């Protein structure tokens, strides 16, 4: 059973043209039909409705009250359909790019800045793929990716964003409650928050590596807390559940705002860095190139502010 008991849409389309132009001849020219074909469609529509829609006069026509009512309804309906179709066509024409980044990078660094990218490139339809697993640009997992390493990836044009700096962080309350935290070795007697399943984006830095770099070789006395999401690790630190490792590009701002503190000095700087990269053949895409340049400008702005 049909949901809508309507006349043929072609008849309504023809009726709208005739009523708008108040001329069978002008409507026929607009619709690329013969005048007789237009007259037949209007006659068929009037018989279907059981109402006269036009008053035929010598060399002129007028809408009847029923015709005026139908014209208003058809015009509103076609206007709404035209607006929707136009929006869909615009969306289809918008350049779309997919940017891959770690969950933490996407959540803490990228998302707060995306409004500025949208203001700069309002015509780009941006999709963010947040994942801690390796992204293969050669397989077209994404158009652009935030990469971690030494900058050498086959077939990828990559630009360095910033280096890797890691240091311990905790809540101000946790630091006040543990005044014994004075040097790196004191962390062995604290609740340490660990990131499990961090994927390749986090390299090999964990509590064991950081402690060894500080010359601490003992084993933690307390059982730590293991979490498989870095945002959860930082939430645990902010809630006073323990001490976490902070990656500077995320936690520097948290230290500046007082959300976190670094109870003990000791920054581990690795030889790896974070890069923004895209397949070489895709860098000719204006949307891809625009996003890469915007990322570099954001990093330069961060350096100036710092």
DSSP 19-55: HHHT-HHHHHHHHT--HHHHHHHHHHHHHHHTS--EE
Q: Helix, strand, or coil here: 265?
A: coil
Residues 210 and 301 in one domain: yes
Number of structural domains (the chain) is 2
The average confidence (pLDDT) of the chain is 88
- pLDDT at position 2, please? 64
In a domain, 73, yes or no: yes
Residues 267 and 141 in one domain: yes
Q: Is-contact 42 54, C-beta < 8 A?
A: yes
| CATH value at residue 43 | 1.10.10.10
Q: How far is CA 222 from CA 84, 188, 208, 286, in A?
A: 61, 7, 14, 53
Residues 123 and 148 in one domain: yes
The whole domain housing 294 covers: 95-306
Residues 267 and 174 in one domain: yes
251: which 2 tokens? Answer: 């936690």
Q: Which one, of 192, 253, 241, lies nearest residue 221 by Cα?
A: 192
Query: How far is CA 59 from its chain centroid?
Result: 59
205: which 2 tokens? Answer: 């830095």
Q: In what order do the strands lie in the sheet with 144-149?
A: 125-130, 96-101, 144-149, 268-279, 156-169, 244-247
Highest mean pLDDT among 26-40, 54-68, 231-245, 290-304: 231-245
Residues 224 and 164 in one domain: yes
What is the rounded distance in angstroms from the CA atom of residue 223 to the CA atom of residue 210? 18
Question: What residues form DSSP beta bridges with 97?
Answer: 126
The better pLDDT of the pair 168, 82 is held by: 168
Listing DSSP states for 153-179 in one string gives -TTEEEEEEEEEEEEEEB-HHHHHH-T
- Band of pLDDT at residue 3, cut at 50, 70 and 90: confident
Q: How far is CA 40 from CA 83, 215, 275, 277, in A?
A: 29, 94, 68, 63
State in Å, rounded, how far the first CA of the chain is from the last one. 68
In a domain, 2, yes or no: no
What is the rounded distance in angstroms from the CA atom of residue 107 to the CA atom of residue 109? 6
Residues 84 and 183 in one domain: no
pLDDT digits (tens, 9 = 90+) for 213-264: 999 988 888 889 999 889 999 999 999 999 999 999 999 999 999 999 999 9
What mean pLDDT is predicted for residues 86-114?
Answer: 82
Q: Which of 31, 59, 93 is the last residue of a domain?
A: 93
Residues 124 and 48 in one domain: no
In a domain, 86, yes or no: yes
What is the rounded distance in angstroms from the CA atom of residue 169 to the CA atom of residue 253? 12
Q: Which of 42, 60, 93 is the last residue of a domain?
A: 93
Residues 40 and 177 in one domain: no
Q: Which of 59, 93, 127 is the last residue of a domain?
A: 93
Residues 210 and 287 in one domain: yes
- pLDDT at position 45, please? 92
Residues 103 and 207 in one domain: yes
Residues 166 and 186 in one domain: yes
pTM for the whole thing?
Answer: 0.67
Question: What residues form DSSP beta bridges with 149?
Answer: 273
| CATH value at residue 288 | 3.40.190.290
What is the rounded distance in angstroms from the CA atom of residue 240 to the CA atom of residue 247? 18
72: which 2 tokens? Answer: 């208003």
Residues 136 and 248 in one domain: yes
209: which 2 tokens? Answer: 């590596």
The answer to whether residue 130 scores a pLDDT higher than 60 is yes
């Amino acid at each position: 059973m049909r949901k809508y008991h309507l006349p043929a849409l072609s008849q309504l389309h023809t009726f709208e043209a005739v009523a708008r132009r108040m001329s069978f001849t002008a409507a026929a020219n607009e619709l690329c039909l013969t005048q007789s074909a237009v007259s037949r469609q209007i006659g068929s529509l009037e018989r279907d409705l059981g109402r006269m829609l036009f008053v035929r006069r010598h060399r002129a026509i007028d809408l009847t009250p029923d015709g005026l009512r139908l014209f208003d309804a058809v015009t509103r309906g076609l206007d709404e359909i035209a607006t929707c179709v136009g929006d869909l066509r615009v969306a289809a024409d918008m350049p779309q790019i997919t940017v891959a980044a770690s969950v933490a990078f996407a959540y803490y660094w990228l998302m707060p800045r995306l409004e500025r990218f949208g203001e700069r490139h309002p015509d780009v339809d941006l999709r963010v793929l947040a994942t801690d697993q390796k992204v293969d640009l050669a397989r077209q997992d994404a158009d652009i990716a935030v990469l971690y390493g030494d900058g050498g990836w086959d077939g990828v044009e990559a630009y360095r964003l910033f280096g890797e700096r890691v240091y311990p962080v905790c809540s101000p309350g946790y630091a006040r409650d543990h005044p014994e935290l004075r040097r790196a070795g004191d962390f062995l007697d604290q609740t340490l928050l660990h990131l499990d399943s961090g994927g390749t984006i986090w390299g090999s830095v964990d509590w064991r590596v950081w402690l060894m770099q500080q010359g601490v070789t003992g084993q933690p006395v307390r059982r730590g807390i293991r979490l498989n999401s870095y945002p959860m690790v930082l939430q645990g630190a902010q809630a006073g559940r323990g001490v976490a490792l902070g990656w500077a590009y995320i936690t520097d701002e948290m230290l500046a705002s007082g959300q976190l503190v670094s109870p003990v000095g000791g920054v581990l700087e690795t030889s790896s860095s974070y890069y923004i990269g895209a397949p070489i053949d895709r860098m000719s895409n204006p949307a891809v190139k625009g996003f890469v340049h915007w990322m570099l400008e954001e990093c330069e702005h961060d350096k100036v502010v710092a």
